[in-house]
Amino acid sequence: MFLINCPYCGERDQQEFKAGGEAHIERPKQPTELSDDEWAEYLFMRKNIKGVQFERWNHAHGCRKWFNMVRDTSNDEIKAIYKMGEKPPAQ
């Protein structure tokens, strides 16, 4: 059970949060210009890394804010947390 440092509320138990999949996948600005393959790439393709992964999390039972997390999936170490729109920290 993680202890997650919400950038708006501070450290809270994992059960207050919802995981939201891979981070930094931007919704295409002009979807109609994309081929089926390009759209499918956005829609379906997600990484599943053993190691350092960038993820979206939501403080669903708290402030309801979305934020980003850098997590090592091999040992669940949370390496960084930063707000939406901020650049990921240099690794």
Partner 1 sequence: MNKNLRVKSSEYIDETNRISFKFNGKTFHGFKGDTLASALLANDVHLVGRSFKYHRPRGIMTSGSEEPNAIVQINPNTNRTEPNVRATEVEIYEGLEASSQNCWPSVEFDIGGINNFLSPFFPAGFYYKTFMWPASFWEKYEFFIRHSAGLGKSPTSTDPDIYDHRNIHCDVLVVGAGISGILAAKNAAKNNFKTLLVDEKNELGGSTIYENNEFNKINNKTPSEWLKKEIEELKNIKNLKIKTRTSVAAYHQYNYLLARENLTDHLEAKNKTNKIRQRLLKIRAKKVILAAGALERPLIFNNNDRPGIMLSSAIKKYSEFYGVACGSKNVFFTNNDSAYESAMSLYNKGINVEAIIDIREQSESKIVKKVKEAGIKIYWSHSIVDTTGYKRLNSISIMKLSNDGTSVTGRKISISCDCLGVAGGWTPAVHLYTQSGSKLKFDDEKKVFLPNQNTSEQISVGSCGGDFKIDEIIKNLNQKLKDILNINETDLDSIKVEIDQENSKRNIWLLPSDKPLGKTKPFVDYQNDATAKDIKLALREGFRSIEHVKRYTTTGMGTDQGKLGNMHALGIIADTAGIKMGELGTTTFRPPYTPLTFGTIVGRNVGKFFDIFRRTPMNDWHVENKAEFENVGQWKRAWYYPINGENMHQAVQRESKAARQSAGILDASTLGKIDIQGSDASEFLNRVYTNAWSKLAIGKCRYGLMLNEDGMVYDDGVTTRIGENHYIMTTTTGGAANVLGKLEDYLQTEWPELDVYLTSVTDHYATASLCGPNSKKILKKIIPDLDLSDESFPHMSFKEAKIGNIQCRIMRISFTGEHSYEINVQSSYGKHLWEKCMEAGKEFNITPYGTETMHLLRAEKGFIIVGQDTDGTMTPIDLQMDWIVSKKKYDFIGKRSLYRSDTMREDRKQLVGLLTEDPNVVLEEGAQIVSELNQSPVEMLGHVTSSYFSPNLNKSIALAVVRGGKKMMGKKLFVPMENKNINVTVVNPVFYDEKNERLNA
Q: Which residues form the interface with partner 1 (CB under 8 A)?
A: 1-3, 13, 18, 20, 26-28, 30-32, 34, 36, 39-40, 43, 56, 58, 60, 64-66, 75-76, 84-85
Nearer of residues 54 and 57 to Zn ion, judged by Cβ = 57
39 by DSSP, 3-state: which? helix
CB of 26 to Zn ion, least distance (A): 23
**What does the alpha-carbon distance between residue 24 and residue 33 come to, in Å, rounded to a whole number?**
21
**What does the alpha-carbon distance between residue 38 and residue 22 come to, in Å, rounded to a whole number?**
18
33 by DSSP, 3-state: which? helix
Residues that bind Zn ion (CB under 5 A): 6, 8-9, 59, 62-63
